[in-house]
Structure 1
Amino acid sequence: MSNITLAQANTIIEAAFAKGAEMGLKPLSVAVLDSGGHLIAFQRSDNSSFLRHEIASGKAYGALAVGAGSRWLNAQAETRPHFLEGLSSVSGGKIVAVPGGVLVKDKIGAIVGAVGISGDTSDNDEICGIHGIEAAGMTADGG
């Protein structure tokens, strides 16, 4: 299984920050994980609050855990709360089930990692994640 490279992760982060600035968003934090859930790169904008690393990583981690963007997890939280309670328990509380966790797929559709963004509304976080992934030449799946 291939993974996102550090260069691709940095491209994703740079493009996500640029999109956030273009949209006039609050300070963003961006985590890029490989397909095994390991951190490749993380950056936070100036004045980003202190738990943003955990939130961004949790969005990406949750997407990888279920093979779907965190928007899907958010829908499951509404319709199947016991599923999310169990998932949270077995993950040690690492999963954040709100939009902003976006799977990254390669040219053949294989999952190569995930991006998690936190700082503005979940919908805006997701928009920036998708933009960053596409700017790196990969396919985004927000769920």
Structure 2
Amino acid sequence: MSSLTLAAAATIVDEALAEARRRDYAPLCVAVLDAGAHLVALKREDGASLMRPQIAIAKATGALGMGYGSRELARRANASPTFYNALFAISGGAMAPSPGGVLIRDAAGTVIGAVGISGDTGDADEACALTGIVATGLTADPGLPTT
């Protein structure tokens, strides 16, 4: 099992933001958490709106807490609102059900962290997260758990 390094987290953030600029997306905030949901790296672009750091962290935290990306979290929350409202309350609001939260897996398939991005549409946020993770040679997992 490997761990998420600061160097890898910094690459994820920088590559995700570079992708956003290539695509002319709105200003983003990118948060990278380790497997224990501890913040490793965060950047908020100039012009990113209020609450973007909190939303990015909540997307990544939700992915880690549930074991699947925040796109799937949103799908499940829409299908079972009562249950997911309870989860959001239990977590103290630490989960955001919108695309942009992506798990990071090492070569063995172990979850070593997550990326959360906020600032543009959920699809755009997720695309930048995928680009950032792939740039490190790690595996991006926006979908369902493998078990």
TM-score range, shorter chain: over 0.9
Q: How does 1:1-143 map to 2 (within 5 A)?
A: 2-143=2-143
Are the equivalent residues in 2 in contact too, given 1:76–1:83 (CA < 8 A)? Answer: no
RMSD value, Cα: 0.8
CA deviation profile, 1:35-82 (whole Å, cap 9, x unmatched): 000100100111111210000000000000011011110101111111
SS in 2 for 1:104: strand
Rounded Cα–Cα distance in structure 2 between residues aligned with 1:14 and 1:73: 26
Query: For residue 39 of structure 1, what is the amino acid of its counterpart?
Result: L
Shift of 1:3: 2.4
Counterpart CA distance in 2 for 1:30 and 1:76 is 24
Determine helix, strand or coil for the equivalent of 2:20: helix
Q: Distance in 2 between matches of 1:3 and 1:116?
A: 18
The number of aligned residues is 143
The two structures have a TM-score, normalised by structure 1, of 0.97
What is the rounded CA distance, in whole Å, between the counterparts of 1:3 and 1:94 in structure 2? 23
* In 2: Cα distance, 1:36 partner to 1:137 partner: 21
Identity among equivalent positions (%) equals: 50
Q: Distance in 2 between matches of 1:114 and 1:58?
A: 11
Give every structure 1 segment of 4 or more consecutive aligned residues whose post-TM-superposition deviation is greater than 6 Å.
none
- Counterpart AA for 1:33: L
Q: Which runs of 5 or more structure 1 residues have no equivalent in the other structure?
A: none
